[in-house]
Amino acid sequence: MNVGTSDRGGVRILTLENPPVNALSFALCAQLLPLVEAASADERIKGVVFTGASGIFSGGADVNDFSTEPTPETKTIRDVIDAIERSEKIFAAAIDTNALGGAFELALACDYRIGTPRARLSFPEIQLGLLPGAGGTQRLPRLVDVQEALQIMLKATRLTAEEALAKGILDRVGDDAVETAIAVIGDGRKRRLSERKAILPKGVVPQALPFIVSQAHKMVPPEGKGGYAAHKLVDAVEAAVTLSFKHGLAREFRLFDELVRSKPSMALRHVFFAERALSKIPGLAGAHATNVAQAAVIGGGTMGTGIAICFADAGIAVTVVEPVDEQVERAKQTIFGMYAHQVQRGRLTQEEAWTRGRSVRFTDDYGELKECDLVVEAVFESMDVKKDVFAKLDAVVKPGGLLASNTSTLDIDEIATATKRPAQVLGMHFFAPANIMKLLEIVRGKATSTDALATAFAVGKKMRKVAVLSGNAFGFIGNRMLFDYAREAVFLAEEGVPPYRVDAAMKAFGFPMGPFAMFDLSGVDVSWHIARARPDVMTGRTKIVDRLYEMKRLGQKTGAGYYRYDKSKGGGREPIRDASVEALFAQEAERAGVAQRSNVSDDEIVQRCVYALINQGAALLEQGIALRPGDEDIVYVYGYGFPPHDGGPMWYADEVGVKSVYDAILHFRETLGAHWQPARLLEEIARSGGTFAAYEAKEPAHA
Looking at the annotation, which residues are catalytic? 105, 125
Count of CB atoms situated within 10 Å of the CB of 67: 11
- Return d(Cα 366, Cα 374) in angstroms, integer: 13
182: nearest Cα among 2, 3, 6, 60: 6
Whole-number Å distance between alpha carbons of 554 and 562: 8
Tell me the residue ranges of DSSP E strands in 445-559. 466-471
Strand-pair category, 425-430 with 439-444 = antiparallel
Task: Look at residue 643 and give its three-state secondary structure.
Answer: coil
Residue from 618, 624, 628 nearest 680 by CA: 618
In terms of Cα–Cα distance, which of 623, 624, 650, 622 is closest to 635? Answer: 650
Rounded Cα–Cα distance for residues 61 and 21 (Å): 10
Q: Where on the phi/psi map is residue 98: left (φ > 0), alpha (ψ -120 to 50), or beta?
A: beta
Closest of 50, 29, 48 to residue 89, by C-alpha: 48
State the Cα–Cα distance between residues 648 and 228, nearest whole angstrom: 17
Across 434-445, b (16+ Cβ under 10 Å) vs e yields bbebbbbbbbbb
Amino acid, res. 608: R
Taking a C-beta distance cutoff of 8 angstroms, is the pair 309, 295 a contact?
A: no
Calpha distance 328→322 (Å, rounded): 6
Check residue 609 and give left, alpha or beta (phi > 0: left; psi -120 to 50: alpha).
alpha
Give the C-alpha separation, 186 to 318, whole Å: 54
Q: Which of 527, 548, 427, 541 is nearest to 482 (CA)?
A: 527
Amino acid in the structure at residue 459: V
The C-alpha atoms of residue 360 and residue 652 are separated, in whole angstroms, by 42
d(Cα 191, Cα 694) in Å, to the nearest integer?
A: 49
CB 168 within 8 A of CB 220: no
DSSP sequence for 77-145: HHHHHHHHHH--SEEEEEE-SEEETHHHHHHHHSSEEEE-TT-EEE--GGGGT---TTTHHHHGGGTSB
What's the angle, vertex CA 23, arms to CA 18 and CA 27, rounded to 5?
75
Contact (CB, 8 A) for 14 and 3: yes
Cβ-contact 626, 636 below 8 angstroms: no
What long-range pairs does 335-338 form, CB within 8 A, spacing at least 24? Answer: 335/305, 335/308, 335/309, 335/360, 338/309, 338/435
Between CA 393 and CA 451 the distance in angstroms is 19
